[in-house]
Amino acid sequence: MDVYQSFIDNSEDCIIDLQTRLTAAQAMAPENGGTGEYIKVNILKNILTGLNFNTLEEIHVPDERVPCSFRPSLIATVKGKNHAKSLWIISHLDVVPSGDKELWNTDPFEAVVKDGKIYGRGTEDNQQGIVASIVAAKALIHNNITPEIDVKLLFVADEEVGSKYGIEWILDNRSDLFNKDDLILIPDAGDPKGEYIEIGEKSILWLEFNIQGKQAHGSRPDLGINAARVSSKLAVELDTLYEIFSHKNEQFDVPYSTFEPTKRGGHTVSNINTIPGSEILCYDCRVLPIYKLDDVLAQINKAVEKVRQETKAEITYTIKQRVDAPLETSPQASVVLQLSDAVEKKLGFKPKTYGIGGGTVAAYFRQKGYAAALWTILDGTMHKSNEYSSISNTTKDASVFAELMSKAT
CB 337 within 8 A of CB 344: no
CB 82 within 8 A of CB 149: yes
**pLDDT 10s digits, 195-222:** 999 999 999 999 999 999 999 999 999 9
Residue 185's H or E segment, with its range, is strand 183-186
Q: SS in 3 state form for 353-405? A: EEEECCCCCHHHHHHCCCCEEECCECCCCCCCCCCEEEHHHHHHHHHHHHHHH
Strands 216-217 and 352-356: unpaired
Residue 338, number of CB atoms within 10 A of its CB: 19
User: Which parts of 245-289 fold into alpha helices (H)?
Assistant: none
Is the omega angle on the peptide bond into residue 126 within 30 degrees of 0, that is, cis? Answer: yes
Q: Residue 251 has what pLDDT?
A: 86
Q: Is 71 helix (H, G, I), strand (E, B) or coil?
A: strand
CA distances from residue 7 to 99, 129, 135, 147 in whole angstroms, order as listed? 37, 18, 9, 17
CA distances from residue 61 to 174, 220, 289, 310, 380 in whole angstroms, order as listed? 11, 52, 30, 46, 30
* Half-sphere exposure at residue 102, Cβ-oriented, CA atoms within 13 angstroms: 0
Give the residue numbers marked as catalytic: 94, 159
Q: Residue 267 has what pLDDT?
A: 78
- What's the first-to-final CA gap in the chain, in angstroms? 21
Report the sign of the C-alpha dihedral through residues 208, 209, 212, 217, in that order: negative
Region of 348 on the Ramachandran plot (φ > 0 left; ψ -120 to 50 alpha; else beta): left
Give the burial class of 246: count Cβ atoms within 10 A of its Cβ; 0-12 exposed, 13-18 middle, 19 or more buried. exposed
Q: Residue 46 has what pLDDT?
A: 94
CB 131 within 8 A of CB 19: yes
Q: Is 263 helix (H, G, I), strand (E, B) or coil?
A: strand
**pLDDT 10s digits, 8-39:** 999 999 999 999 999 999 999 999 999 999 99
CB 376 within 8 A of CB 132: yes
Question: Among candidates 10, 7, 19, which has minimal Cα distance to 113?
Answer: 19
State the DSSP code for 175.
Answer: G
* Backbone φ and ψ of 79, nearest 5°: -70, 140
Distance CA 264, CA 281 (A): 5
Residue 318 has pLDDT above 90, yes or no: yes
Question: Among candidates 399, 402, 378, which has minimal Cα distance to 117?
Answer: 378
pTM of the model: 0.83
Distance CA 38, CA 341 (A): 36
* Backbone φ and ψ of 72, nearest 5°: -90, 140
Q: What share of the chain is helix, strand, coil (3-state, %, to 5)?
A: 35, 25, 40
Residue 359 has pLDDT above 90, yes or no: no
Residue 268 has pLDDT above 80, yes or no: no
Confidence of residue 303 (pLDDT cuts 50, 70, 90): very high
**pLDDT 10s digits, 39-95:** 999 999 999 998 989 999 999 999 999 999 999 999 999 999 999 999 999 999 999
Residue 326 has pLDDT above 90, yes or no: no
CB 51 within 8 A of CB 141: yes
Name the percent of the chain lying above pLDDT 90.
93
Question: Among candidates 97, 96, 98, 91, which has minimal Cα distance to 166?
Answer: 91
